[in-house]
Structure 1
């Protein structure tokens, strides 16, 4: 089984990969490590490294070629590719995107020891530089490969790490990957032009960041109880539309509020 994991900066990709390695025997291939090492050797920040890569594709080509080669030569192994674009270069994989809110991502990188090339003096600086780096990478991927990196339809599983633990994320990824692997064996996926399974699990707090009122609690009391007693009710998908990078609930607001009250880590959504 090959799993490719990418996502927002600070979403916890590397931590989740280590859990899958330590608890389930996967090998890890990380291109983020290669990129940070290159930045360190050149005595520049990772943001500066990304800008340099915009004008010199040899670094991208080096990483891409290595990723494709490893996937071809090790199809018999269970491997996790902790890589921005492995989902595009690995021929057959379960494609995972980890999302996270910018506020939580900034807090994580502030508390994480990533070397002098990723040092931040404040939370606001971390948010600003993380957003700038994501914008730079998105632009570069479109120019070099014609890829829309943040288009969730590219992935088999999108899962939000804002309000849950890496252990919970790892459990869901492995469960969904096994389902995907069974479908692959039955030739239900990997048909030309078919992405196969596409599941989006987002934190309800991301969808409804406002304050939960007394009226909300009273109005959804029955639904909360129903969701707690019947886990199948938690699978009811919520219709969401992205407007100017903001997620707006089109249908299912009551389910989102009920999920927040019931302390559910994420809810399944459909992006319109």
Structure 2
């Protein structure tokens, strides 16, 4: 399997990729690793490579080409591509996007030691700069590649990492990837378009479920508590900024939240 993982800044991509490597035997190719390989081919240091990339976009294209080549030349390897745009350039992959609430992302990057290039004095500063960086990168991708990075329809699986552990998310990605590649095998090797969005009930409904509502939903809550994995329900929501408006299935969302269900399969309209 080839799995490409991208997502919001602070969504835990590197941590989850490392779990997939350690637990499931995948080999990781990050953008940095591809960049170092390209630098070696050009007999340059990575610093020299970085300096060239700032002045000429053709080196971005060379890295993208190298990513695609690695995928083509290793069809029998299990590879994780940890990269902003590998989902677009790897010819055949299971495409994963990790989403996260901006407030949680800011808290995470503030705690991380990411070097002097990514230092913040407060959560608010981290939040502002993460937002600005995401917007800048998205504009850059549209300008260079004509891609809408945050359009969830680009991906086979969108998983929210705001409240779930990296270990759980890694196991979900593996299950979904195996199911997907099973469909590919049934389709005689042709990639198929399957988009699934898994969001946390805690993000879909941020208020507390009151006692009266919990009593009304008691049987559904007990049912959800017994389920290992996703409940067999699909709810609809609309996203506006960092908030969600549930369009259908509010009782299911509340019951799932009370039962501590990590994800719900969500049909999502983005505005």
After TM superposition, the score normalised by the length of structure 1 is: 0.87
State the Cα RMSD in Å.
Answer: 2.5
> Contact 1:5–1:13 at 8 Å: present in 2 too?
yes
Distance 1:134 1:98 in 2: 14
Larger deviation, residues 89-98 vs 229-238: 229-238
Aligned partner (choices 194, 198, 205) of residue 197 of structure 1: 194
> Could you list the runs of 4 or more consecutive aligned residues of structure 1 that deviate by over 4 angstroms after TM superposition?
32-36, 230-233
- What is the match of residue 99 of structure 2? 99
Change (3 A) 1:35 1:66: closer
From the superposition, tell whether residues 77 and 35 of structure 1 become closer, same or farther in structure 2 (CA, over 3 Å). Answer: closer
Q: Is the 8 A contact 2:101 2:242 kept in 1?
A: no
- 1:134-153 CA distances to partner (integer Å, 9 max, x unpaired)? 10111111111111111111
The answer as to whether partners of 1:188 and 1:196 remain within 8 angstroms in 2 is: no
- SS of alignment partner, residue 96 of structure 1: strand
Q: Which residue of 2 aligns with 1:217?
A: 214
Task: Describe how 1:127-142 pairs up with structure 2 within 5 A.
Answer: 127-142=127-142
Q: Which runs of 5+ in 1 are unaligned?
A: none
C-alpha displacement of 1:4:
0.3
Q: Distance in 1 between matches of 2:155 and 2:202?
A: 22
- Unmatched 5+ stretches in structure 2: 40-45
Kept after mapping to 2: 8 A contact 1:32/1:82: no
- Provide the C-alpha distance between the structure 1 equivalents of 2:101 and 2:182, rounded to a whole number of angstroms: 32
Q: d(CA) in 2 for partners of 1:255 and 1:179?
A: 25
In structure 2, what is the equivalent of residue 168 of structure 1?
Answer: 168
- 2:250 is aligned to 253
Residues 188-213 of structure 1 show CA distances to partners (whole Å, capped at 9, x for unaligned) of 7746xxx5221110111111112322
Aligned to 2:43: none
Aligned ranges for residues 56-205 of structure 1 at < 5 Å? 56-187=56-187, 190=190, 195-205=192-202
Greater Cα offset, 221-230 or 255-264 = 221-230
SS of residue in 2 equivalent to 1:105: helix
1:237 aligned residue? 234
Q: How many residues align?
A: 259
Separation in 2, partners of 1:248, 1:168: 25
